[in-house]
Chains A and B, each alone.
Chain A
Amino acid sequence: MKTPNKYLLLILTLGLITGCADDNERNYQYFPDMYQSQAYEAYAESELFPNQTTALKPAEGSVKRGWMPFEYADNEEGYQRAKKELENPVPYTEENLLKGEELYGYYCAICHGDKGNGKGWLVQQEKVLGVPSYDDVGRAITSGSTYYVIYHGRNLMGSYASQMNRKEMWQVTQYVMKLKRELEDKDELPFDKDTIKNKQLFSTSDKLELTN
Chain B
Amino acid sequence: MKYITVIMSSLKMTLTAFMFVFFLSATGQDTAEETSSESGSGQEEVIPGADLAKGEELFKSICASCHKRYEKAIGPALHGLTERREMEWIYKWIKNNKKLRESGDQQAIAIYEEYNKTAMPAYPQLSNQDIDNIVAYAEQPKPEPKQKVAAAPQGGQAGGQKGSGMSTEVILGILAFVLLMLSVVLYLVNRTLNRFAEANGVPVKQEEDKEPRKPIWVAFAENQFLVVITVVVVLLGVAYGAYGFLMQVGVDQGYEPVQPIHYSHRIHAGENKIECKYCHSSARVSKHSGIPSLNVCMNCHKQVNEVAEETATAQYSKEFYDKEIQKLYEATGWNPDEMAYTDEKKPVKWVRIHNLPDLAYFNHSQHVTVANIECQKCHGPVEEMEIMYQHSSLTMGWCINCHRETQVNVKDNGYYKKIHEELSKKYNVDKVTAAQMGGIECGKCHY
Chain A residues in the interface with B (C-beta under 8 A): 23-30, 32, 34-37, 42-43, 45, 51, 53, 76, 105-107, 110, 118, 121-122, 125-133, 136-139, 155-160, 162-165
Q: Which of B342-386 contact A (CB under 8 A)?
A: 347, 349, 352, 357-359
Interface CB pairs A-B, < 8 A, 12: A24-B256, A24-B258, A25-B255, A26-B255, A28-B249, A36-B357, A51-B347, A105-B275, A118-B61, A125-B272, A137-B125, A156-B66
Across the interface, do B65 and A129 meet the contact criterion of CB distance under 8 Å?
A: yes
From A130, A132, A157, A159, name the one whose CB has the most chain B CB atoms within 10 angstroms: A130
Q: Which of B243-290 contact A (CB under 8 A)?
A: 248-252, 254-258, 272-275, 277-278, 281, 285, 288
Across the interface, do A23 and B275 meet the contact criterion of CB distance under 8 Å?
A: no
Q: Is B64 an interface residue (CB 8 A)?
A: yes
Tell me the smallest distance from the CB of A54 to a CB of chain B, in Å.
12
Stretch among B21-29, B166-174, B296-304, B433-441 lining the A interface: B296-304
- CB contacts (< 8 Å) of B273 on chain A: these are 110, 121
Q: Is B423 an interface residue (CB 8 A)?
A: no
Query: Which single residue of chain B is at the shortest CB-CB distance from A38?
Result: B358
Additional A-B contacts beyond A34-B359, A53-B347, A165-B285 (14; CB < 8 A): A23-B254, A76-B119, A105-B275, A106-B275, A106-B277, A110-B273, A127-B272, A128-B300, A129-B65, A132-B62, A136-B121, A157-B65, A160-B299, A163-B281
Across the interface, do A158 and B298 meet the contact criterion of CB distance under 8 Å?
A: yes
Q: Is B129 an interface residue (CB 8 A)?
A: no
- CB contacts (< 8 Å) of B255 on chain A: these are 23, 25-27
Complex Cα gap A122–B303 (Å): 12
Tell me the smallest distance from the CB of A110 to a CB of chain B, in Å.
6
Q: Is B234 an interface residue (CB 8 A)?
A: no
Across the interface, do B248 and A27 meet the contact criterion of CB distance under 8 Å?
A: yes
Query: Which single residue of chain B is at the shortest CB-CB distance from A105?
Result: B275
Given A138-B125, A155-B74, A158-B299, A132 contacting B65 (CB threshold 8 A): yes
Across the interface, do B308 and A27 meet the contact criterion of CB distance under 8 Å?
A: no
Across the interface, do B272 and A121 meet the contact criterion of CB distance under 8 Å?
A: yes
Complex Cα gap A128–B357 (Å): 41
Q: Which size class do B's interface residues fall under?
A: 35 or more
The SS class assigned to the B binding surface is loop
Complex Cα gap A184–B138 (Å): 30
Given A24-B256, A34-B358, A106 contacting B278 (CB threshold 8 A): yes
- CB contacts (< 8 Å) of B160 on chain A: these are 24
Q: Is B401 an interface residue (CB 8 A)?
A: no
Across the interface, do B117 and A27 meet the contact criterion of CB distance under 8 Å?
A: no
Across the interface, do B288 and A131 meet the contact criterion of CB distance under 8 Å?
A: no
Query: Which single residue of chain B is at the shortest CB-CB distance from A43?
Result: B291
Across the interface, do B293 and A162 meet the contact criterion of CB distance under 8 Å?
A: yes
Complex Cα gap A29–B355 (Å): 13
Complex Cα gap A121–B300 (Å): 13
Across the interface, do A26 and B252 meet the contact criterion of CB distance under 8 Å?
A: yes
Tell me the smallest distance from the CB of A41 to a CB of chain B, in Å.
8
Across the interface, do B250 and A28 meet the contact criterion of CB distance under 8 Å?
A: yes
Across the interface, do A24 and B272 meet the contact criterion of CB distance under 8 Å?
A: no
- CB contacts (< 8 Å) of B67 on chain A: these are 130
Across the interface, do B359 and A35 meet the contact criterion of CB distance under 8 Å?
A: yes
- CB contacts (< 8 Å) of B60 on chain A: these are 126, 129-130
Across the interface, do B64 and A129 meet the contact criterion of CB distance under 8 Å?
A: yes
Complex Cα gap A34–B163 (Å): 39
Tell me the smallest distance from the CB of A144 to a CB of chain B, in Å.
16
Complex Cα gap A126–B252 (Å): 39
Complex Cα gap A128–B250 (Å): 43
Across the interface, do B66 and A130 meet the contact criterion of CB distance under 8 Å?
A: yes
Across the interface, do B123 and A155 meet the contact criterion of CB distance under 8 Å?
A: no
